[in-house]
Structure 1
Amino acid sequence: MIGLPANRLFCLLLLSLFIPAVVCGAPVTRTLSTAEPGAGEVFDISLSIDGIDLGGVVETLPAGYAFTGTEHPDDRVTVRGQSIGFAVMNDTAITYSVTAPASGSGDITGTWEDFLGESDGQVAPSHVAVDGIETAAESAGEKPAAQEAASPVAALAAVAALFIAGWGGRR
């Protein structure tokens, strides 16, 4: 059986592994001014960026939706088809505008990369539908990609480790 000091050390080690996973959220989150724009309406998309000193974000728009513009510096924006790339240099927010098509729906997806932190990930998808009407593909049974929730396993493990650490001292 592990002795009391070793037990506490083991619990602290577990906490140091799991708590950062629980505390650290996605460094890039997306907010839409509307998820149901009117036909031809221009709407805004805001990206909140946390903790990326040097990196990039690439957003991909659904078919028919068109990038309209941004106040982000021109030399740090690249547009290729439905993808918009933003160079991030100590930025905390990027807002850009999109024009909705006459009809259509889909997911705005994105990826981010932190060059200095040597990490990357996905921005949770955001669903848009012109006038709230889903396209034929979705009414035929295809569902839009769902946002994935963070796994509760890390949070439960951290709580369990705290409980064990407190329990281990009572004898």
Structure 2
Amino acid sequence: MIGLPANRLCCLLLLFLFVPAVVCGAPVTRTLSTVEPGAGEVFTVSLSLDGIDLGGVVETLPAGYAFAGTDHPDDRVVVRGQKIGFAVMNETRITYSVTAPASGSGDITGTWEDFLGESDGEIAASHVAVDGIETEPESGVEKPAAQEAASPFAVLAAVAALLIAGRGGRR
């Protein structure tokens, strides 16, 4: 019989093996009304959600681009700087608006998490450039990328803790 620490290790290994297989389905896709907005133009971003009954989506806008509003309920949207968080409850589509700066380019990136399905992943990046003109990223852009890199570990650690806590109460 395998001891308790070995059981926990097996659970973690299975988690790391099966989560990537579940994530490959890409349940969230992003569509932009334009990838070359004019200076100051407002454009639309649509997120199509497939199979997420309860979860969340966090979108990150490039430097200079600003969140301009959404049709999503106000009590399920949080905006902090360049990040927009959406609480998802049985939605199939989220639409929001973005105002382009006078100039600039970059990627709209995002992550999703399915709380009931116990899976998460990244949304493929969507590149935007004002009037189609590419610009160099600002030096301050590097810090948020490092913070995002820590995010998947925190999610996996939380899921592992839930698994271990759930198994600990069973005898």
TM-score by length of structure 2 reads 0.67
Residue of structure 2 in register with 1:66 after alignment? 66
Residue of structure 1 in register with 2:28 after alignment? 28
Q: Give the structure, 1 or 2, with the largest relative contact order (CA under 8 Å, sep 6 or more).
A: 1
Counterpart check, 1:125 vs 2:121:
no
Residue by residue over 1:96-120, the C-alpha shift from the partner in whole angstroms, topping out at 9 and shown as x without a partner, is 0000000000000000000001100
Shift of 1:133: 0.1
Q: What is the rounded CA distance, in whole Å, between the counterparts of 2:129 and 2:137 in structure 1?
A: 12
SS in 2 for 1:109: strand
Gaps (5+ residues) in structure 2? 1-20, 139-171
- Where in structure 2 are the equivalents of 1:1-171 lying within 5 Å? 21=21, 25-137=25-137
Structure 1 residues 37 and 116, CA gap change in structure 2 (3 angstroms):
same
The percentage of aligned residue pairs carrying the same residue is 87
Gaps (5+ residues) in structure 1? 1-20, 139-171
Instruction: Look up the equivalent residue of 1:78 and give its one-letter code.
Output: V
Contact 2:113-2:119 at 8 Å conserved across structures: yes
Q: Give the aligned length.
A: 121
The higher radius of gyration belongs to 1
Q: Which aligned runs of 4 or more in structure 1 are off by greater than 4 angstroms?
A: none
Q: What is the rounded CA distance, in whole Å, between the counterparts of 2:127 and 2:80 in structure 1?
A: 21
Q: What is the rounded CA distance, in whole Å, between the counterparts of 1:115 and 1:82 in structure 2?
A: 24
Residue by residue over 1:53-93, the C-alpha shift from the partner in whole angstroms, topping out at 9 and shown as x without a partner, is 00000000000000000010000000000000000000000
Shift of 1:137: 4.6
Residue of structure 1 in register with 2:9 after alignment? none
Q: What is the aligned-residue RMSD (CA, Å)?
A: 2.2
Q: What is the rounded CA distance, in whole Å, between the counterparts of 1:107 and 1:34 in structure 2?
A: 13
